[in-house]
Amino acid sequence: MFFIRGRIATNDGTPVPHEAVVERICNNRVRQQVHATTGGDFSMELGSKADSFVDASGDGASRDARGSNSIGGIPRRELMNCEIRVSVVGFRSGSIDLVSLTPSESTVDVGAIVVHRTAKPKELTLSATIYKASPNARKAFEKGLEAERKDKLAEAIKCFERAVEIYPRFTNAWFELGTVLQKQDQEEAARNAYHQAISIDTRFLPPYLSLASLAYKENNWTEVVLFTGHILELDPMNHVSGYILDLDPMDYAEAYFYDAAANFNLNRFEGAEKSALKAERLDLRSRFPQLHLLLAQIFARKGNYASAISEIQTYLNMVPYAGDAARVRKWMVELKKWDVDASEVASEKPDQR
């Protein structure tokens, strides 16, 4: 057992966001999370009895508590494909490979993990049309934002409506108006506000994501693909560090998830798999349990039962008491049987060499 300590630093010298979480990730799955202090410092314990690195190694081998092939009593092979990185909205994190550590004491100081800003804070994510709005329109918009932050939604609606009345091409005000209306379950009015926003500025992406969300809720798969397709032309994984995006990486994860679900339901399975895998890579906070069920369906359809079973297990670990948990567990039992049957058939085939 040993401790890893370090600190989080931003590439632009700004304060570390208070919601920063330091994660141990093995084979692209989050295994442990700790919250950083307000100053950005963190400490993480590895190797306790409650901890397990079996998933990282894949072989379930017992630990060698001594020798050069271990780190703090943990075999190096169990630390392969494991890293420490930071999860925080609006930033992309550097990482530290655990297998490269050489602790000489029970505590290892890994120094600073630098996070790079990749997205504007919501209040700075603005359409260019805001700079053409009159002072009175901007004042009404700012009052609406303040009322929205205080959860005074009726007041916020009036302020945003006043802003677009003064300046009808105020994209951000239309978008915020839609957001507040949607919070009050006025979905048709919200949809109209989002459409007003995108009719003015097609490069402002937040209302496209909101429209994709509404279409997903209604199982309107053609519309989902229409809106997500526009968003995903700006794939964040193709941008260099420091590029400012209209959406943060978590929002892109949501867009890829909607796109995958829509493509699957439209029988576009190759596109569904591509988008689902991208969503899984971006969804570091695991906000979409349904994504893993979707991947299970995709893998099962391809006869990759082992991967399908793994995705189902991830889903059940995330939401063990979901309403469909019993049905999903039953499906997993069937997949395990099919996996055994497929393995037996494969072993019976003659050597083709």
Q: Are residues 17 and 113 both part of a single domain?
A: yes
Nearest-angstrom CA–CA distance, 331 and 305: 11
66 assigned to some structural domain:
yes
Show which of 204, 237, 257 is a domain's final residue.
204
242 assigned to some structural domain:
no
Residue 74 dihedral angles phi and psi, to the nearest 5°: -100, 120
146 assigned to some structural domain:
yes
Element (DSSP H or E) covering residue 224: helix 221-231
Query: Tell me, what's the pLDDT at 118?
Result: 65
Q: Are residues 165 and 76 both part of a single domain?
A: no
Q: Are residues 138 and 112 both part of a single domain?
A: no
297 assigned to some structural domain:
yes
Q: Are residues 143 and 181 both part of a single domain?
A: yes
Q: Are residues 294 and 191 both part of a single domain?
A: no
pLDDT digits (tens, 9 = 90+) for 129-167: 677 888 999 999 999 999 998 989 999 999 999 999 999
Q: Are residues 104 and 148 both part of a single domain?
A: no
Q: Which two tokens stand for residue 88?
A: 């925080």
- Mean pLDDT within 280-297: 84
Q: Is the pTM of this model over 0.75?
A: no
209 assigned to some structural domain:
no
Q: Is 134 left (phi over 0), alpha (psi -120 to 50) or beta?
A: beta
pLDDT digits (tens, 9 = 90+) for 70-107: 555 566 666 677 888 888 776 788 888 887 776 556 77
- Mean pLDDT within 318-322: 87
- Mean pLDDT within 6-19: 75
**What CATH number did the domain enclosing 178 receive?**
1.25.40.10
Nearest-angstrom CA–CA distance, 9 and 93: 10
First CA to last CA across the chain, in angstroms? 48
Query: If you ran DSSP here, which 8-state letter would residue 130 be given?
Result: G
Tell whether the torsion through CA atoms of 257, 258, 260 and 264 is positive or negative: positive
Query: Tell me, what's the pLDDT at 62?
Result: 40
Confidence check: pLDDT of 67 > 90: no
Nearest-angstrom CA–CA distance, 216 and 213: 5
Show which of 204, 220, 235 is a domain's final residue.
204
Q: Are residues 113 and 8 both part of a single domain?
A: yes
Q: Are residues 102 and 165 both part of a single domain?
A: no
Q: Which two tokens stand for residue 252?
A: 């892109």
pLDDT digits (tens, 9 = 90+) for 213-244: 999 999 999 999 999 999 888 654 444 333 33
Contact present, 331 and 312 (Cβ < 8 Å): yes
Nearest-angstrom CA–CA distance, 181 and 259: 24
Long-range pairs, 312-315, Cβ under 8 A, ≥24: 314/29, 315/289, 315/290
Show which of 163, 179, 204 is a domain's final residue.
204
**What CATH number did the domain enclosing 310 receive?**
1.20.58
62 assigned to some structural domain:
yes
212 assigned to some structural domain:
no
Q: Are residues 8 and 113 both part of a single domain?
A: yes
Query: Domain range for residue 103?
Result: 2-117
Q: Are residues 96 and 19 both part of a single domain?
A: yes
36 assigned to some structural domain:
yes
- Number of domains into which the chain is organized: 3
Q: Are residues 184 and 96 both part of a single domain?
A: no
The whole-chain average pLDDT of the chain stands at 81
Q: Are residues 95 and 31 both part of a single domain?
A: yes
344 — pLDDT class (breaks 50, 70, 90): low
DSSP for 90-128, please give it.
TEEE-EEEGGG---SSSEEEEEEEEEEE-B--GGG---G
